[in-house]
Amino acid sequence: MFVDLANISVKAGDGGNGAVTFHREKYVANGGPDGGDGGKGGNIVFVADPNLSTLADFRYKRKYAAQNGENGGKKRCTGKSGADTVIRVPLGTLVKEQQTGRILADLSDEQPVVIAKGGRGGWGNTHFSSATRQIPRFSKAGTPGEQLDLQLELKLLADVGLLGYPNVGKSTLISVVSEAKPKIANYHFTTLTPVLGVVRVDEECSFVMADIPGVIEGASSGVGLGHAFLRHVERCRLLVHMVDVSASEGRDPIADFETINHELEAFSAELKKRPQIVVANKIDMASDEQLSAFRDYIQQQGLPYFEIAAAIAHGTTELVQYIAARLQELPPVRTYEAQPAPEPDFSKDNRTFTIDKLDDGVFEVKADWLLPIMNNTNPNDYESLQYFQRVLIKSGIIDALKRAGVKEGDTVTIYDFEFDYVD
């Protein structure tokens, strides 16, 4: 079963909690704190697998979670980090946020991509020891791992996309010029899924051709199968538009050509501008008048034009050679850049947080919405710290700390971020 859309939920592992322990050893007085840090939570990692061709597996399993980090131990032992969860998808899969449609990753190669980061381990009480606080009886909890609702969308990686009405000979052409074996029969919608074929021109030159099924009038708005498969045309560098010039099914070839291009434009204005080659198929069944009329029309459009009879491989060699030469002039297959998250409004009332007084002079702030900001905050960069400070002010955290009794020189901890309060 070919599935090219799937919705899943992922949850990275939570960080382990820091430990509160003290060194106990015979003949050693006042050993002091020795609580270890919690382990890091596992990440959710996506990897493109060239052996996969569909998202069908995600119809049966929709929730994925990584392992949590273990808690810290005594003798300053750090907890074990949680194992990553690796999710394998076909090449060409886009990973998006369900709610916003924001692109998180384009898996067009086999490079692993971390989509959800595991939580960081909490600090053990060893970190809170100082000259004035020699027996800290508190530690920090690990941060939660990121949790996301994702949409996976497969856009096939192909150099050339075959377009045209059903039964115009697209499957026949791809079976003749490549090793692909699509189903071929004399009725509509024989091809129900996109078919990829590698076309080898010579020992050093080849390209990938995709037969895109089901594009008919109204495809861009959901008629036929085109609404499901037009997305696979978006990556193609070159479009080969096939037309039944013999009008064997009673349709006008020129009207067919205009209708398909209209559907491309309605689906994506960018597709209308994609380089296109027009191929008149079934010339062995067409009259001279039909050929002449269609040829004149396409030449007026200024598009490259070929006449073939795919069933007997007539004219296909010249077509393939032209496609290969044209591809040399075009940019590589399109890839999509990950889109940055929009900057949130920190002045909103729903930015909830809690403040706890852990010990004399130590205040802990908890606010899950701060975690993504902290992940992108560089403590060694002045501007980054200034931005983080503005967030604390706008969200009301600084005012809340003052109401809780914080004084200059007190310690403020926010997960694994710690600073001395300065009024």
Say which amino acid occupies 110.
E
Bridge partners, residue 412, by sequence: 363, 419
Kindly state whether residue 336 falls inside one of the protein's structural domains.
Answer: no
Instruction: State the first-to-last Cα distance of the chain, in angstroms, to the nearest integer.
Output: 64
Among the three residues 102, 134, 154, which one is the final residue of a domain in this structure? 154
Kindly state whether residue 127 falls inside one of the protein's structural domains.
Answer: yes
Return the CATH number at 414.
Answer: 3.30.300.350
Quote the CA–CA distance of 209 and 191 in Å, as a whole number: 15
Closest CA relative to residue 81, chosen from 17, 146, 36, 16 = 16
Kindly state whether residue 334 falls inside one of the protein's structural domains.
Answer: no
pLDDT at 166: 82
Sequence-distant (≥ 6) Cβ neighbours of residue 350 within 8 angstroms: none
Please tell me the total count of domains within the chain. Answer: 3
Quote the CA–CA distance of 150 and 120 in Å, as a whole number: 22
Kindly state whether residue 418 falls inside one of the protein's structural domains.
Answer: yes
- Which domain, by its residues, includes 373? 346-423
Do residues 137 and 251 both lie within one domain?
Answer: no
In contact, 253 and 244? CB cutoff 8 Å: yes
How many CB atoms within 10 Å of residue 61?
A: 10
Kindly state whether residue 333 falls inside one of the protein's structural domains.
Answer: no
Do residues 174 and 136 both lie within one domain?
Answer: no
In contact, 277 and 238? CB cutoff 8 Å: yes
SS3 content of the chain, % helix, strand, coil (to 5): 25, 25, 50
Do residues 16 and 92 both lie within one domain?
Answer: yes
Kindly state whether residue 338 falls inside one of the protein's structural domains.
Answer: no
Among the three residues 292, 327, 362, which one is the final residue of a domain in this structure? 327
Do residues 177 and 229 both lie within one domain?
Answer: yes
Kindly state whether residue 399 falls inside one of the protein's structural domains.
Answer: yes
Do residues 267 and 139 both lie within one domain?
Answer: no
Can you say how many angstroms the Cα of residue 14 is from the centroid of all Cα atoms in its chain?
23
Among the three residues 154, 173, 200, which one is the final residue of a domain in this structure? 154
Average pLDDT for 55-80? 92
**Does the pLDDT at position 217 exceed 70?**
no
- Tell me, what DSSP letter sits at residue 277? E
Do residues 54 and 180 both lie within one domain?
Answer: no
Do residues 316 and 355 both lie within one domain?
Answer: no
333-353 pLDDT, tens digit per residue, is 888 898 887 766 655 555 788
Do residues 14 and 145 both lie within one domain?
Answer: yes
Return the CATH number at 10.
Answer: 2.70.210.12
Average pLDDT for 125-150? 83
Do residues 3 and 58 both lie within one domain?
Answer: yes
Return the CATH number at 265.
Answer: 3.40.50.300
Q: The pTM is what? A: 0.74
**Does the pLDDT at position 222 exceed 80?**
no
Using pLDDT thresholds of 50, 70 and 90, give the confidence band for residue 194. Answer: confident
C-alpha distances (whole Å) from 255 to each of 93, 243, 262, 270 are 34, 10, 10, 21
Average pLDDT for 120-142? 81
Do residues 317 and 391 both lie within one domain?
Answer: no
Kindly state whether residue 19 falls inside one of the protein's structural domains.
Answer: yes
Do residues 11 and 116 both lie within one domain?
Answer: yes
Pairwise pLDDT comparison (230 vs 272), residue with the higher score: 272
pLDDT at 219: 41
Do residues 279 and 377 both lie within one domain?
Answer: no
pLDDT at 54: 84
